[in-house]
Amino acid sequence: MNLALLFVAVLALPSLALASHGKTTVRKLDFEEDVAVALAKYTANLSDRYIKEKDSFSVVLSGGTLIHTLRTLLETPYGTTINWSKWLIFWVDERVVPLDDPLSNYKLALDGFLSKVPIPRSRIFPITYKKSPAEVAVDYEVRLKTLVEDKIIPLSATGFPKFDLILLGIGPDGHIASLFPNRPQRYEKKRWITFITNSPKPPPPRITFTFPVINNASDIAMVVTDKEEAYAVVSPTLPCAEVKAKNELTWFLDKEAASKLH
């Protein structure tokens, strides 16, 4: 596996859809396997840093192929050297289905990742399933606010929670989390969590972090390993172009996803 194809952009890149409050780093790698290796090292390094700084590491997961790409974290040396007991796990979006439903992002993460690492169950925060997406969104926001009140998650001066790392993929339409083009949830500026009942991607009912929460994260990794997303990577008008990070936004791209970069 060749990890040599790497370039770093500290300033905004005109050929890339994203600009960040902090630094922007682009890691352009050959294959998905290379992305998995690079992502594992990146995540482990952040874990070590944040645990040393504040004795915890808050990680926000998404669905799709991301969980499979995290597989290298289960291998040597990471599986036995990461201090998993200090991790806190959240979801940037979730399908409003029971947690044991095959469509659940929680179940996807549990089966492919969380069941294989010793993160305490009390430090994993899935949704509480209810039939009403609006109720699920309110419930999850209340839970986050309780964690802020208990000083488990910090609150920034902007009034939004601050997570250490958010791991995102993007869709061919440029959506991130469950913030889709041509849907009003993309423009929500006040709530922490919102809901959608007509997602263009099934299942229709979902909840999602809003952009103010996503963009308040210290570090964000955008993980893209499919040629179907190549256009979205460079589009300046899609939701993925609105992602920002306070510290650093890092793109992990295989050569197919990066094929339209200049």
Q: Is residue 16 part of a domain?
A: no
**Integer Cα distance of 58 and 61 in angstroms:** 10
Q: Is residue 21 part of a domain?
A: no
Q: Is residue 20 part of a domain?
A: no
Q: Is residue 240 part of a domain?
A: yes
Q: Is residue 10 part of a domain?
A: no
At residue 5, the pLDDT reads 40
pTM score: 0.92
Lowest-pLDDT choice from 19-23, 117-121, 250-254: 19-23
pLDDT one-digit tens code per residue, 42-79: 999 999 999 999 999 999 999 999 999 999 999 999 99
Tally of structural domains, the chain: 1
The pLDDT-based confidence of 8 (bands split at 50, 70, 90) is very low
Q: Is residue 6 part of a domain?
A: no
pLDDT one-digit tens code per residue, 79-97: 999 999 999 999 999 999 9
Q: Is residue 197 part of a domain?
A: yes
Specify the CATH number for the domain of residue 107.
3.40.50.1360
pLDDT one-digit tens code per residue, 131-167: 999 999 999 999 999 999 999 999 999 999 999 999 9
Structural domain containing residue 115: 27-253
Q: Is residue 142 part of a domain?
A: yes
